[in-house]
């Protein structure tokens, strides 16, 4: 009988023989061919509202399939039919230009398609690729009987909108050149395009598991604790600049406001995607340039505005692409007399901000999708036009006098009586007496603030003196239209040199216009913060606060104005800026109203699901079943060879018979 140590040795030897082919080779193969694609961070997310859920989802351990090039819907079934033995699912690799309605429906519904990877090479991107529906924000339209006018039918890739499709499978967008080369040229094409017998297959594992449950109300009700909640309410802040400011020193004075508005957000199917359907950035720049033109001659503007008894309100609205979140909350606050801020009842009346209602709005003008073409079109509602024809025509006259020809879409013509999807719908649903225009699809929009100034001054001649600073316009363009927003101006205003988090925001979230979450857990949108700082720089006053020396002193100045401790333009010093800027909550009233009916459709009810863990995309090679069978047979054969070692060896083989010098001789 062998000693126990010899038996143990033989068992270890047997075990090593058994796993020689399996574990050791697998470890080497894994090190060589298992790749985690870290750059693919633009992935589809899961969202829910009061009735439905949309977006993407994977199994908790990920969805596994063979990467397969798909160009049209017939390719899907063909690829599935030709899958080799041992592989049952595919991950469809689709060029962005081919992602259209018929193919989208097949990819969404086919059970063998377990993931979708969109490839965007940039130079192949279609010009008419829109992720929104034929009729954007249809369920929140002012028009109850004819909600769909097909505003986006020529551009939308799917009638319901790509971003509102319930895929229930993972979907990613690859834009990085090195990543695309790795996926397509290194893995997919060599191993899957021309299948070789007894070869390897390029496989992928897509993990995008998010917590979600039915609809928004159910998901929010699962956990009331914000840290453990399954879903997050969408929301951020609106930004308003009111000139002149209003306080309670004249509580009975009439308020006559001209509103210049633009949306801050766009919404894409993919979180962290750059831009969106609407050219929000060009519209925002137009308003920022207008505010800067006013700020450079602030004394003149205030004098003329007070003479006419009118105000100019710049409105930067958030969450408009998801059911007009920002504008509906703005109207709700106005109805409750909490706009632009709640009353604080300071002893000095001048310190108390004056609340205003919807009746203060005399005209609404929204800039939308600027730069889409060289022409400028003005849209208005037919009933509004009939009731306010003289005023609308006057505003159009002012707009034409600013140097650009405005093509007025006559609302009295059949088919032209409705306004496009815009924040104006929220205003009309609150009060259908507020006249307004939607200006869209035009080129040099930086000059299109003339109509607003002419109205405020009640004099077109005076508005001609307010000119856009071309140097500032170029500076904004050089900052905004870059891959990152870490330009000198933005770094100075945000103090990014000393704030590492802000530095990261400027570099990593540039050109991301998605609204954040109401709790801030999804991050604060950098575009809103930049707008606030830029407005403060253009219209803020430091003379009235020149005795304020520290940030804490500036923060403690609490009255009807915003007080912001901010770097000066040169970045050498910081000052306390006083500006009539108000940041109001941009969170749907649906989440504030007690026992609100989430299925009513009156207010947006969108929430975003939380990630269970990090979203990942992995590539690896899978052997053909014949190779696996060969490996199994080889391992079994080696095992059979190892078994005799349990019985063949003699005990003397393992005894040390070598005598060291000076060792005692055996008896």
pLDDT digits (tens, 9 = 90+) for 216-241: 988 888 765 556 678 889 999 999 99
Mean pLDDT of 175-191: 91
- Taking the model in full, what pTM does it have? 0.86
Residues 203 and 250 in one domain: no
Q: Which of 5-9, 593-597, 648-652 has the highest mean pLDDT?
A: 593-597
pLDDT on residue 592:
94
- Cβ contact 554:578 at 8 Å: no
Residues 301 and 393 in one domain: yes
Q: Give, in degrees to the nearest 5, the angle at Cα 420 between 415 and 426.
A: 125
pLDDT in tens, 39-80: 555 678 889 999 888 999 999 999 999 999 999 999 999 999
Residues 116 and 262 in one domain: no
Evaluate whether residue 395 is within a structural domain.
Answer: yes
Residues 290 and 331 in one domain: yes
Evaluate whether residue 605 is within a structural domain.
Answer: no
Q: How far, in Å, CA of 479 to CA of 629, rounded?
A: 59
Residues 148 and 177 in one domain: yes
Residues 190 and 296 in one domain: no
- At 620, list the tokens: 């690896």
Mean pLDDT of 567-581: 89
Residues 615 and 574 in one domain: no
Evaluate whether residue 139 is within a structural domain.
Answer: yes
Evaluate whether residue 428 is within a structural domain.
Answer: yes
Q: How many domains does the chain have?
A: 2
Evaluate whether residue 389 is within a structural domain.
Answer: yes
Q: Strand 436-440 to strand 376-379: parallel, antiparallel, or no bridges (unpaired)?
A: antiparallel
Evaluate whether residue 606 is within a structural domain.
Answer: no
- Cβ contact 553:561 at 8 Å: no
Q: How far, in Å, CA of 419 to CA of 435, rounded?
A: 12
Quick check: 13 pLDDT over 70? no
Residue 36 — left, alpha, or beta (φ > 0 → left; ψ -120 to 50 → alpha)? Answer: beta
Cα dihedral 559, 565, 569, 571, rounded to 10, equals 170
DSSP H or E stretch at residue 122: none
- Cβ contact 366:423 at 8 Å: yes
Answer whether the bond into residue 439 is a cis peptide, omega within 30°: no
Which residues in 343-466 belong to E strands, given as ranges?
Answer: 361-368, 376-379, 406-408, 436-440
- The fraction of the chain above a pLDDT of 70, given in percent, is 78
pLDDT in tens, 616-664: 899 998 877 666 677 777 888 888 887 776 666 666 555 555 555 565 5
- At 556, list the tokens: 């403690």
Evaluate whether residue 380 is within a structural domain.
Answer: yes
Q: Strand 562-567 to strand 574-579: parallel, antiparallel, or no bridges (unpaired)?
A: antiparallel
Domain around 175 = 34-217+611-623
- At 499, list the tokens: 């704030």
Evaluate whether residue 662 is within a structural domain.
Answer: no
Residues 285 and 161 in one domain: no
Residues 249 and 209 in one domain: no
Residues 206 and 240 in one domain: no
> Sorting pLDDT into bands at 50, 70 and 90, what band is 20?
very low
DSSP H or E stretch at residue 645: none
Residues 250 and 358 in one domain: yes
Residues 210 and 256 in one domain: no
Q: Residue 591 gets which letter from DSSP? A: G
């Amino acid at each position: 009988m062998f000693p126990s140590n010899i038996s143990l040795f033989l068992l270890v030897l047997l075990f090593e023989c058994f796993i020689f082919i399996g574990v050791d080779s697998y470890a080497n193969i894994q090190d060589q061919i298992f790749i985690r694609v870290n750059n693919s961070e633009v992935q589809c997310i899961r969202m829910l509202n009061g009735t439905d859920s949309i977006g993407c989802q994977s199994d908790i351990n990920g969805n596994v399939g063979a990467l397969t090039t798909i160009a049209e819907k017939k390719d899907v079934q063909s690829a599935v039919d030709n899958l080799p033995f041992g592989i049952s699912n595919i991950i469809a690799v689709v060029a962005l230009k081919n992602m259209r309605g018929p193919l989208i429906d097949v990819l969404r519904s086919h059970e063998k398609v377990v993931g979708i990877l969109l490839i965007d090479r940039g130079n192949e991107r279609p010009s008419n690729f829109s992720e929104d529906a034929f009729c954007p924000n249809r369920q929140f339209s002012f028009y109850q009987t004819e909600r769909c006018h097909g505003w986006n039918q020529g551009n939308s890739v799917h009638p319901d909108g790509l971003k509102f499709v319930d895929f229930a499978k993972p979907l990613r967008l690859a834009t990085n050149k090195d990543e695309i080369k790795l996926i397509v040229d290194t893995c997919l094409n060599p191993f899957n395009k021309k299948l070789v017998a007894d070869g390897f297959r390029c496989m992928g594992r897509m993990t995008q598991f998010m917590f979600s449950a039915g609809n928004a109300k159910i998901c929010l009700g699962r956990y009331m604790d914000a840290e453990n909640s399954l879903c997050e309410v969408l929301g951020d802040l609106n930004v308003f600049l009111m000139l002149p400011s209003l306080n309670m020193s004249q509580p009975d004075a009439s308020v006559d406001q001209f509103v210049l508005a633009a949306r801050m957000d766009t919404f894409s199917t993919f979180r962290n995607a750059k831009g969106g359907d609407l050219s929000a950035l060009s519209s925002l720049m137009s308003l920022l340039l207008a505010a800067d033109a006013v700020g450079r001659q602030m004394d003149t503007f205030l004098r003329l505005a007070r003479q006419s008894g009118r105000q100019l309100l710049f409105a930067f609205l958030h969450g408009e692409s998801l059911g007009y979140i920002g504008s509906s909350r703005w109207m709700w606050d106005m109805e409750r007399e909490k706009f632009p801020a709640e009353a604080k009842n300071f002893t000095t009346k001048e310190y108390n901000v004056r609340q205003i209602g919807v009746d203060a709005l005399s005209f609404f003008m929204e800039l939308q999708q600027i730069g889409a073409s060289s022409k400028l079109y003005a849209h208005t509602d037919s009933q509004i036009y009939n009731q306010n024809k003289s005023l609308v025509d006057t505003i159009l006259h002012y707009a034409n006098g600013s140097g650009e020809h405005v093509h007025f879409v006559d609302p009295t013509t059949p088919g032209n009586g409705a306004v496009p999807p815009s924040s104006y719908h929220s205003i009309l649903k609150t009060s259908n007496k507020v006249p307004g225009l939607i200006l869209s699809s035009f080129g040099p929009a930086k000059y299109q603030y003339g109509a607003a100034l002419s109205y405020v001054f009640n004099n077109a001649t005076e508005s001609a003196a307010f000119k856009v600073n071309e140097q500032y316009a170029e500076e904004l363009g050089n900052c905004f239209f870059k891959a990152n927003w870490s330009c000198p101006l933005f770094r100075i205003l945000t103090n990014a040199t000393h704030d590492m988090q802000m530095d990261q925001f400027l570099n990593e979230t540039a050109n991301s216009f998605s609204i954040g979450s109401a709790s801030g857990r999804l991050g604060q949108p950098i575009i809103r913060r930049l707008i606030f700082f830029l407005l403060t720089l253009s219209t803020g006053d430091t003379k009235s606060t020149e005795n304020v020396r520290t940030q804490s002193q500036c923060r403690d100045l609490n009255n009807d104005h915003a007080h912001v401790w901010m770097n000066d333009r040169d970045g050498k010093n910081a000052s306390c800026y006083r500006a009539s800027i108000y940041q109001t909550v941009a969170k749907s009233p649906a989440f504030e109203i007690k026992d609100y009916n989430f299925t009513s459709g009156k207010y947006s009810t969108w929430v975003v699901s939380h990630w269970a863990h990090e979203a990942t995309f992995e590539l690896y090679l899978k052997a053909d079943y014949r190779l696996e069978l060969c490996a199994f047979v080889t391992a079994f054969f080696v095992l059979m060879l190892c078994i005799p070692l349990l019985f063949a060896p003699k005990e003397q083989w393992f005894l040390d018979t070598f005598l060291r010098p000076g060792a005692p001789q055996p008896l």
